[in-house]
Chains A and B, each alone.
Chain A
Amino acid sequence: MNLRRDVFQAIADPTRRAILLLVASQTMTAGAIAANFDTARPTVSKHLQILTECQLLQQEQSGREIYYHINAKNMKEIADFIEPFRQMWDERFNKLETIMKQYKTK
């Protein structure tokens, strides 16, 4: 299968999002990633392959191990990645505004 992988299709899958969650906090080997899932190892490998193909994850060879880390270069292109961060602040600031408006009229 040499399909050109689509980034948004890649993160539409819950297992792949869970993998990104794990790798977002630290660089990990495939084995360490797979240990977090009950899913069969080849299934996890397949997910890693897809995430790597669409360049969300980057592989780095270190000795005999391959480490995976989040591909920083592609962060900009993934609006979905930054959007929750923006939304988090938007919700906080909306709340701040509501609270302070009430405060003002007290």
Chain B
Amino acid sequence: MATITAHGTQEVRQRRKPAAPYLLLIPAVAVLLLGLGYPVYWQIVTSFQEFGLAQQFGSAPPTFAGLDNYARIFSDSTAFAVVVRSIIFCLVNAGLTVILGLAFALLMRAVHGWAKVVLQIALLLAWATPVIAAVTVFRWLFNDQYGVINWLLVKMGLTGFRGHVWTATPLSFFLVATIIIVWMSVPFVALSLFAGLTQVNDELLEAARIDGANKTQILWRIIMPLVRPVLAIVLLLQIIWDLRVFAQIKLLQDAGAPIAETNLLGNFIYDLGMNRNNFGGAAAVAIFVLLLTVVLSAPYVRSLLKEDES
């Protein structure tokens, strides 16, 4: 803060400073409280209650259950399996998405003219496709009877894929899910990173080249450190998004899959709350996911804040 010399100015500032910023904050805080605060409050309260269908219809009052919901859920092997599965799925997907996104961004930087335009349009279209439409297309691609994938594999001589059901076992189910989710998320990462890459000064690269740096060195020593803040942000966002993935899994499950073995956290919460009417338990898992998101993203947020300061 600049040192203030004139006594009068300081007085004026002190009087004005408290009011204006806080006034400006009111709308944002109000929207947050209304939109997020109440649901989160309700969620926390419910997670400590015995809340089922009877409570939903008001035929029995909710009773305080302490940590019962949490204890019951996390002593259950199904819930533990879902948590592990979700974290692995989230990290694999976020990692793959960012690696592929970076590759596309570098490709966009390397190509020019019509190739660049085609690439950008293709990415934008993939990004603009609504989830339900995208999953439907992939469901047909991987359909056991009429799917192009099975047809191609059989044509290539792999006759074992005749009538192969991709969603029948958890591993191949998640393979398909990963393809869909990565396909849908790569454009955002690629375009963000591409925007970051355009900020890299050409003179800097030229100077590096003159100093005798080869292409690999330029990529890792010059370009990567410069786009690191963008990379960190998109990776953080991707981890948060992939942890709460719901629609893609639900729609794929509808195609016929072993539900309990393919549930991720989002689907597990939905199943617990909406199908099994255990709203208290569902709220407890939801709170856990919130905490998990905080834990997973904390290192990134911290490093982002540090970079902001420096």
Whether chains A and B associate is no
- B residues at A contact (CB < 8 Å): none
